[in-house]
Amino acid sequence: MSLKNNIKVSVLGATGMVGQNCLRLLENHPWFHVVDVAASKHSAGKTYTNAVSGKWVMESDIPDAVSNLIVRNVHDFASIPGDVNCVFSALDLEEKQDTRDFEFGYAQKGYAVISTSSANRQIHDVPMIIPEINADHTDVIPIQQKNRNLPSSGFVAVKPNCSIQSYIVVLAALKQAGFPVGRAQVTTLQALSGAGYKALTNPDLKENVVPYIGGEEEKTEKEPLKIFGQVTDDGIVQSTSLIINALCTRVPVVDGHTAVVHIGFSDKTPSLEKFKSILSSFAAEPQSLCLPSAPENPIIVLDKIDRPQPKLDRDEGNGMTVTVGRIAEDDFFDIRFIGLSHNTVRGAAGGAILMGELLVQKGFIHGK
């Protein structure tokens, strides 16, 4: 069996919503095989099925391969199976610094850490990757390892916030085609699942719109600047060529983040037909590498006046495709559109797995 096809992985925070989705998506994965699940001390020692009893929220059943695994305490390194060398972390500790230290604790032990947490996103030597946009930011991993005296197999890489996923790939496609965006006004309509299991069962969020989500606007405005930044000898320097202003809201939708986006171009403005053509034809490294989780079409343009809609369109490309519609000229900016992405797939577990596949292909993760 090829080493690429036999990579043993652990999922940290496996009992939470993102962890569950990660396990669902990893079932029958051609490269990654889950041999370890970990969570808090309250779940440790139980079978995975017992640990998620009453809390399993995926539509599909618990994968057979993990149902009887004994949940490990995430802080217990001694009982990690010896053949694990990559962990998908869907865990946030109470304090961000604790999460940073926790993730680098695994990296110090020689594990490749692929995290969905926000704790390390703004750390200059930690790559924050959307594989279709900044696959080259994997170049910062050797710098991180040198800066922090990590073993050659250990590092931390993170995925960005789910709130930016429904529009940032559009900006990347335009930039690649020679039409860089200089400013954007973004209003997000974010699904309940983005706030975890408790939000889905919170009666205050039903039939309601909450016009503020703590920390989301700052993430929405700042994270794209790092993604579009440049790798230097010391780490990643953020882009200064883009300004984003964001307003983030929570809406009573289970899955699927929508964004209303108004953009102004730095130089020339494409026609609407050119704009649509750029998006529809966009492809990048994950597509050329044929990574297992990469959608054939990263962006799909919908012409119907009432699309995209979360219920109808969030599952395009197995939840990894961004759908775009309502494209029109704008009186205050240049062009406006509505984007939609699946927040717990592309925006969380699926995006992390795709990043893991990219890191395998680039030689940063190996099987044992």
Are 79 and 103 contained in the same domain?
yes
In a domain, 367, yes or no: no
| Mean pLDDT over each residue of the chain, to the nearest integer | 96
| φ and ψ at residue 358, rounded to 5 degrees | -60, -40
Q: What distance in Å separates the CA atoms of residue 298 and residue 262, rounded to the nearest whole number?
A: 20
Task: Please give the pLDDT value at position 367.
Answer: 79
Are 325 and 353 contained in the same domain?
no
pLDDT at residue 345 above 80? yes
In a domain, 366, yes or no: no
- Measured at the alpha carbon of residue 248, what is the angle toward residues 127 and 211, in degrees to the nearest 5? 150
Are 109 and 226 contained in the same domain?
no
Q: What do you get for the CA distance between the two ends of the chain, in Å?
A: 11
At 198, the amino acid letter reads K
Are 168 and 214 contained in the same domain?
yes
pLDDT at residue 4 above 70? no
Report the range out of 3-12, 112-121, 198-207 with the highest average pLDDT: 112-121
How do residues 35-56 score in pLDDT, each as one tens digit?
999 999 999 999 999 999 999 9
Please report the DSSP string for 310-337 in residue order.
Answer: HHHHTTGGGGT-EEEEEEEE-SSSSEEE
257 is catalytic: yes
Average pLDDT over residues 287-312: 98
Task: Please give the pLDDT value at position 180.
Answer: 98
Are 90 and 215 contained in the same domain?
no
- Measured at the alpha carbon of residue 25, what is the angle toward residues 22 and 27, in degrees to the nearest 5? 110
Are 149 and 34 contained in the same domain?
yes
Q: Structural domain of residue 356, as residue ranges?
A: 3-162+349-361
Are 140 and 78 contained in the same domain?
yes
In percent, how much of the chain has pLDDT > 70? 98
Could you say which of 86, 137, 248, 257 is catalytic? 257
Are 180 and 234 contained in the same domain?
yes
Could you say which of 22, 162, 262, 342 is catalytic? 162
Are 82 and 151 contained in the same domain?
yes
Are 173 and 262 contained in the same domain?
yes
Task: Please give the pLDDT value at position 1.
Answer: 38
pLDDT at residue 3 above 80? no
Task: Please give the pLDDT value at position 366.
Answer: 86
Q: What distance in Å separates the CA atoms of residue 158 and residue 325, rounded to the nearest whole number?
A: 29
* Alpha-carbon separation of residue 264 from 12, 54, 186, 297, 343 (angstroms): 41, 48, 12, 25, 25
Are 125 and 246 contained in the same domain?
no
CATH number of residue 71's parent domain: 3.40.50.720
Average pLDDT over residues 101-110: 97
In a domain, 17, yes or no: yes
| DSSP tag of 319 | G
In a domain, 300, yes or no: yes
Other C-beta atoms lying within 10 Å of the C-beta of residue 317: 20
Q: Looking at per-residue confidence, does 3 or 237 come out higher? A: 237
How do residues 87-105 score in pLDDT, each as one tens digit?
999 999 999 999 999 999 9
Retrieve residue 332's tokens: 């205050």
Number of domains in the chain: 2
At 236, the amino acid letter reads I
> Kind of pairing, strands 299-301 and 7-12?
unpaired
Average pLDDT over residues 12-21: 96
CATH number of residue 236's parent domain: 3.30.360.10
In a domain, 121, yes or no: yes
In a domain, 220, yes or no: yes
